[in-house]
Chains A and B, each alone.
Chain A
Amino acid sequence: KNQVEQSPQSLIILEGKNCTLQCNYTVSPFSNLRWYKQDTGRGPVSLTIMTFSENTKSNGRYTATLDADTKQSSLHITASQLSDSASYICVVSGHPGTASKLTFGTGTRLQVTL
């Protein structure tokens, strides 16, 4: 069964610190990998999308990496802010082309504190 596993399950960091979230997947074939941010009570919002040929992509203070050989991805958050408190979900698309169904990880719940 295609799976997406994330670690850690939850994380608490001080405001201003950096953190890295991990994602391992077994989805095959592989089309693209996405990181979403989901605030409590809201739908997920896309942060980055990476295809097979991309190994890093940044969106402001968020930087995602992808190693398609080892099937691993990470999301690095720099200079965290209180508003970064949310669940971060790694999502893999196993089908080429557009609008394909996605396999979601269970997410890492991040809490940024003062």
Chain B
Amino acid sequence: GAGVSQSPRYKVAKRGQDVALRCDPISGHVSLFWYQQALGQGPEFLTYFQNEAQLDKSGLPSDRFFAERPEGSVSTLKIQRTQQEDSAVYLCASSLCYEQYFGPGTRLTVT
């Protein structure tokens, strides 16, 4: 497809479980961003990659959150020992220049 895709679209996890969220950016896009969007709020920055290099991870809320993009294309956001406050939509965006193109998000619900 031509756009950013994310999987799974929905994930329900029991508290304490580990989860992995996948982002497939637009082919050729150098930059990739992860955002967390709580219900009724705007997205909040988590981390940013340029190719395979993670240039900014200042938005990751705790060391339970880890992101990687080993080959500069697909990225995975991993959350260890999930907590209820991790429930949110996780958005991925890829970018070539100014414009960021967002995926549909993964809705994570921690029970």
> Interface residues, chain A, CB within 8 Å of chain B?
4, 32, 41-46, 49, 89, 91, 98-99, 101-107
Q: Which of B31, B42, B99, B103 has the most CB of A within 10 A?
A: B42
The smallest C-beta distance from B28 to any residue of chain A, in angstroms, reads 13
- Residue of A whose beta carbon sits closest to that of B93: A43
Residues of B within 8 A of A42 (CB): 104-105
Check A43–B42 contact: CB distance below 8 A: no
One of B11-19, B44-52, B65-73 contacting the partner: B44-52
> Interface residues, chain B, CB within 8 Å of chain A?
4, 30-31, 33, 35, 40-45, 48, 50, 56, 59, 91, 93, 95, 97-105
Residues of A within 8 A of B4 (CB): 43
Check A102–B100 contact: CB distance below 8 A: yes
Check A32–B44 contact: CB distance below 8 A: no
Given A43-B93, A89-B42: A101 touches B33 (CB 8 Å cut-off):
yes
Given A43-B103, A43-B105: A104 touches B95 (CB 8 Å cut-off):
no
Check B42–A104 contact: CB distance below 8 A: yes
Residues of A within 8 A of B59 (CB): 101
Check A46–B99 contact: CB distance below 8 A: yes
Check B102–A45 contact: CB distance below 8 A: yes
Residues of B within 8 A of A101 (CB): 33, 45, 48, 56, 59
- Residue of B whose beta carbon sits closest to that of A43: B102
Check B105–A99 contact: CB distance below 8 A: no
Residues of B within 8 A of A43 (CB): 4, 91, 93, 102-105
Residues of A within 8 A of B30 (CB): 99
How far, in angstroms, from A4 to B44 measured CA to CA in the complex?
12
The smallest C-beta distance from B31 to any residue of chain A, in angstroms, reads 4
Check A98–B103 contact: CB distance below 8 A: no
